[in-house]
Amino acid sequence: MFLKRLSLAVMAVFIIFGGMAFAGDANVGQMASPRESTEGAVPKKPFLLDIKGVEKVDIPTTYGPIVTDTATPIEKGKLAIQPTFGYSFVTDTFNSNWSRGSSGGTIRNFFMNYKLTYGPIEDMEVFLVIPYVHRWARSVDEPGPKGETSADSGGLGDLNLTVKYRLVEETPNLPTVTALFSTGFPTGEFDQLNPSALGTDAIGCGSYLFTTGFNVSKYINPVILYGNLWYSMPTSFTDDDGNQHPGDFVTVNLAAEYPITDKWVSLLELTSSWGGRAFIRPLNHIALAIPRFGHSGD
C-alpha cells in the first residue's frame, strides 16, 4: 500500500490547537482552565505549590505540551474533557542513511482527539483518548486498481486508556515524577482495506499496544520542562499482508514551554522513537520537532 511505505517521514505540522477544557466534580460540571484539565486543579493565575516543610514553588498556568504527556495528575474527584485538533502533511521521506527522497505523493492528516480525564484517588489520574482521523492522498506515484491517484478516508482511530500515578511531587530541588501504564486498543480500521483508497483507510495499527514508563516535569524559571520515557510492547496481528509481528520500541518526548505573558506561551517539542524486532538495534528512528506559539488564557 502506498501509505505503508512512509515509515520514515518528515511530518510538517501545519495547524495544531486545543479546544476548551471542562472540569468539575464527578456529579457537578464546571468550566476550568485547560491546564487544570490536564495537570490538576490549577487557578487561572500562577499558583503556589504548598509542600509541607518545603519552600513553595511558583508555577505559571499553561495549556501544557501537545504531544509530550504531563506529569502532574488531576485533582482527586475531578473530571475533565479536553478536545484537541490537528492537521499535518508529509513532505519527504528518509532512507536508512537519512537521505531525503520523495514521499510518492502528497499526504495530509487531520485528527480530532477527545481526552476524558478523572482523578479517582490522590496522586492518580486515569484518562481515555478517543480519536477521529481523516487522511488524504493526492497525486500519488502508484495509482490504484482503476487508475486512482487521489483518495481520502476517515473514521475512529485506536482508543487509548492510561493510568498515571505520581511518585514524587515537585519541590525547588526535585521534579514531579509520575509512573504510567497504558493500553492502546485496535479499534481503528487496519485490515480488509479498499485498494482504491490508496491506504488512506489504514487508520488503526492493528495490535494492542501496552506501554509503561515515566513522565517528569520541572519549572526552572522562566521555562517549564517536560519529559517522557516509555517502553511499548505491541501484540502480533493479522492484516491484508498476513501475520505481523511488530517489535517493541522506546519513545522519548521532550518539551519546553516559555510563558510570554499571562495569556500567551511558546512551546518547542521533540519526539523520537526507536524500535524493532527484539529491540536489538534502532531499526526505525523518527524525530519530530514541533514549535508552537499559542494562547493560554480563557
3-state secondary structure of 128: strand
HSE (side-chain half, CA atoms, 13 Å) at 289: 2
pLDDT, tens digit (0-9, with 9 covering 90-100), for 46-95: 444 444 555 556 677 787 898 899 999 999 999 999 998 888 888 777 77
Cα–chain center distance at 3: 21
* pLDDT score recorded for residue 51: 47
Residue 190 sits in which domain range? Answer: 3-295
Residue 49 CA to residue 60 CA, distance in Å, equals 11
Burial of 248-275, coded b for 16+ CB within 10 Å and e otherwise, reads bbebbbbbbbebeeeeebebebebebbb
Domain CATH number, residue 269: 2.40.128
The three grid cell numbers given for residue 210, joined into one nine-digit string = 501496552
Q: What is the pLDDT of residue 161?
A: 98
* pLDDT per 10-residue tile (average), the chain, 298 residues: 41 42 44 40 42 60 86 95 88 74 84 96 97 92 88 95 97 95 96 90 93 97 95 94 92 94 89 66 40 50
Q: What is the pTM of this model?
A: 0.74
Which pLDDT tens digit goes with each residue over 99-109? 777 777 888 99
Give the pLDDT of residue 53.
Answer: 52
Integer Cα distance of 18 and 156 in angstroms? 19
Give the model's pLDDT for residue 93.
Answer: 74
Q: How far apart are CA 269 and CA 261, in angstroms?
A: 20
What are the backbone dihedrals phi and psi of residue 155, each rounded to the nearest 5 degrees, phi first?
170, -175
Cβ count near 244 (within 10 Å): 16
- DSSP letter at 208? -
Total of domains in the chain: 1
pLDDT at 210: 97
